[in-house]
Structure 1
Amino acid sequence: MQSPVRAVALCTLLVLAGCAGGPVPTDGDGRMPLDTDTPTPTAATPSTPVDAPPSATASPDGIEAEVIGVVDGDTIDVRLPNGSEDTVRLLGVDTPEVHAENDPAEFPGVPDTEAGRDCLRSWGERASEHAKDELAGKTVTLSFDANEPRRGYFGRLLAYVHVDGESFNYGLLTQGLARRYDDSGFEYRDRYGAAEDAARTNGVGLWGACAVDDPQTATETPFAVADGGEPLRIEAIHPDAAGDDRENLNDEYVTFGNAGDETIDLAGWTVSDEADHTYTFPEGAEIGPNGTITLHTGSGEDGDGHLYWGEGSPVWNNDGDTVIVRNASGETVLERSYDG
């Protein structure tokens, strides 16, 4: 039988050993973890995580999981292969809050005003809907980052999420639904930073809707008051189509959004560039509450939130131009310039 004294000494050593360790990691929110001993999935994980941009065809190695719920744009609930359920915080990205107050200072160019905060919340809701549309009920692949812990503040898994071989985290940035999460040393900081910069430069997503040139003096987020008093916003400008612009005219587009509670009727309104190429919205061109409509430069059949200019060559200059919106009376109600 083991001596009681020796048993007590052994237990003491084990307790002391458990107190030693390296630096305490933070999670994707930059907070200190409450419980760094939370078990991690037992399935095999790659030693080097893979986070390919959406154009990549290779599928990442990692843990397969079923998405059983969406908390918001950057947090999901999953069921793991062993049947256990877990919550995943997407690494490297931060979508606007929907369950808490937004801080415009975290999103460069967004004014610290009620309008700025309201705009961010609206885009947080859009990011959540996007996550539901793209992930809910699907089997995704989770991969991890060598520079980050497996779990963070709330015991959530910190992971890259891949669906159909594409990086969902990265896609949030390219679509202007999130910013790069800067309070983290994750491996793909430079790539994610470049994606955010491109979205901001081109006014994609929340950057086109919420940001202004001088947030220090701004009092409102820029929008045009459409007939009926509803706010129309330019939400995205995509002048540089993939490949040769002349061969891919429908990938050159401008997206307009309705930030109000009533449907906007744009019939008779016009969109022009600095060279005075002009498109007139047809009868039936409407945007519902929190909806969008995208005007493509090329040809196609109008419908499902898409309109087609019918031009045979590019309209929007890749190195900079101005989108000019006029109402049915010919009055300029909204201008937005962009740089190449």
Structure 2
Amino acid sequence: MRVPAVLCCLVLVVAGCGGLSTPAEPTLADDTTPTAEPVGPTVGTVTDVPPPRPAVEVSVTAVVDGDTIRVEYANGTRDTVRLVGVDTPEVHAENDPPEFEGVPDTTAGATCLREAGIDASNLAKDRLLGRTVGLAFDPNLDRRGYYDRLLAYVVVEDRLFNYGLVRSGHARVYDSDFTRKTAFDRAESEAREAGRGLWQCADGATAVADGGTVTAGASGLAITAIDYDAPGNDNENLNAESVTLTNRGDEALSLAGWTVSDDADHRYTFGDLTLTPGASVTLHTGSGTDTDSDVYWGREGAVWNNGGDTVTVRDAGGTVVVERSY
């Protein structure tokens, strides 16, 4: 049995051999046998695809954005990884709405995509940053792409993170000849039809809640940010725990009598507040002086569970307007 080159290097380093140069990238075998039929836990009618066999394990040291991370190998070598097959909206540059099917080529479309890009970046930070993950490579692609970034699948907890981004609507499928493209295309199609994540930016989209996505209701109201894990002790930093709502509609929206609640049915009721088109309001868990852009729940303890929760907004009549889970 042939021993992979990187493993040899690691063995030699552990043995204390001197004079070895650290390889710039892993040389373990590609995963060349993707399973044709996806299996695994379902979300809607789309299932997980089996993850490829990782070639190497790395530590994630930084998240550049939703589809790009920085990693460190066990021997201390560092690298930048561009996730295979996916493209999340930009957060450090301008977005081009026509790249995302159905998203209008307008300022509102670009703004919506930027918010979706931030959401994707936050998801990557939550799931990957500081963790050990597996990297796998696609036999149809070069190892490196633009800017000499390593092109890889990221496997975390036996799940293919790249695919999860597409399935949840955090990314579109990047047009390249990677082996899992059919499954990715199918997942994107369903996410787009359901209005998940970035696809709620599309013309006429109304969305329902689906794990960790930005959502928008028919009223135009969207839950655009959930800061559920305040720095330090959540109960001692209540105003850093917050939920942000944005009016993405074309008309002013009165929130008087509307409520925000969690899974445990803790409820906040808005006073006489109106959001003009494009305006946002942030609901802080702690206490403070309400303004047009910031309101305060006045609670003495944290509301939003760090391990996952659902934000539900209801109108004055109790009808659910929009939900978002994380």
Give the TM-score band, short-chain normalised: 0.5 to 0.7
After TM superposition, give the deviation of residue 267 of structure 1 in Å. Answer: 7.7
Mapped partners of 1:222, 1:61: distance in 2:
37
Q: 1:155 to 1:136 in 2, by over 3 A?
A: same
Q: 1:48 to 1:122 in 2, by over 3 A?
A: same
Q: Which of 79, 101, 107 is matched with 1:114 structurally?
A: 107
The equivalent of 1:284 in structure 2 is 268
- Give 1:141-220 correspondences, 5 Å limit: 141-182=134-175, 184-208=176-200, 210-213=201-204
After TM superposition, give the deviation of residue 303 of structure 1 in Å. Answer: 5.6
Mapped partners of 1:284, 1:207: distance in 2:
28
Q: 1:307 to 1:122 in 2, by over 3 A?
A: closer
Q: Which of 313, 316, 326 is matched with 1:328 structurally?
A: 316
Larger Rg: 1
TM-score calculated relative to the size of structure 1? 0.56
- Give 1:49-198 correspondences, 5 Å limit: 55=41, 60-182=53-175, 184-198=176-190
Amino acid in the other structure paired with 1:175: S
After TM superposition, give the deviation of residue 53 of structure 1 in Å. Answer: 6.9
After TM superposition, give the deviation of residue 223 of structure 1 in Å. Answer: 6.6
Q: Of the two structures, which has the highest relative contact order with CA contacts closer than 8 Å and spacing of 6 or more? A: 1
Gap runs ≥5 in structure 1: 1-38, 215-220, 226-230, 236-255, 271-280, 292-301, 309-324, 336-340
- What are the superposed Cα offsets for residues 239-291 of structure 1, whole Å, 9 maximum, x if unpaired? xxxxxxxxxxxxxxxxx97237xxx9968449xxxxxxxxxx98426897499
Q: 1:109 to 1:146 in 2, by over 3 A?
A: same
After TM superposition, give the deviation of residue 152 of structure 1 in Å. Answer: 1.0
- What are the superposed Cα offsets for residues 108-156 of structure 1, whole Å, 9 maximum, x if unpaired? 1111110100000011111111111100010100000111000011111
In the alignment, structure 1 residue 48 sits paired with structure 2 residue 18: no
Amino acid in the other structure paired with 2:77: S
**Identity of matched residues, %:** 47
Gap runs ≥5 in structure 2: 1-22, 42-47, 206-214, 225-242, 248-252, 260-264, 271-279, 285-302
Mapped partners of 1:150, 1:234: distance in 2:
38
Mapped partners of 1:95, 1:146: distance in 2:
23
Mapped partners of 1:49, 1:67: distance in 2:
26
Mapped partners of 1:45, 1:290: distance in 2:
50
TM-score calculated relative to the size of structure 2? 0.58
Mapped partners of 1:333, 1:307: distance in 2:
11
Q: Helix, strand or coil for the counterpart of 1:259? A: strand
**RMSD, aligned α-carbons:** 4.0
After TM superposition, give the deviation of residue 45 of structure 1 in Å. Answer: 2.6
In the alignment, structure 1 residue 258 sits paired with structure 2 residue 245: yes
Aligned residues: 225
Q: 1:103 to 1:53 in 2, by over 3 A?
A: farther
Q: 1:161 to 1:267 in 2, by over 3 A?
A: farther
